[in-house]
Amino acid sequence: LAKAPRPQSRAPMGHVLASRPNQVLAIDFTLLDPSQDGVGSVLVMTDVFSKFTQAVATRDQQAATVAQ
């Protein structure tokens, strides 16, 4: 007999609220096919309050590269 599958526990989902600009930023990388000059990642930053979004092309996802 097979064991019954155990439900995976997850943290409860919640809303991220901001009461002023630049209080909460959502930051993530998106991967693309590398271009001829080696750019293959895009750093996407969104201000949760205003929904203002900026995207910056990067060669990789290393902290030193992003800091430059």
For the chain, domain boundaries: 25-67
58 close to 65: Cβ distance less than 8 angstroms: yes
What is the model's pTM?
A: 0.71
The Cα 26–Cα 39 span in angstroms is: 22
Give the start-end residues of each E strand in 1-68.
Answer: 25-31, 41-47, 53-58
pLDDT digits (tens, 9 = 90+) for 40-56: 899 999 999 999 999 99
Query: How far is 23 from 35, CA to CA, in rounded Å?
Result: 34
Question: 4-63: per-residue pLDDT in tens?
Answer: 888 888 888 888 899 999 999 999 999 988 888 888 899 999 999 999 999 999 988 999
Tell me, what's the pLDDT at 6?
Answer: 82
Count of other CB atoms within 10 angstroms of residue 45: 13
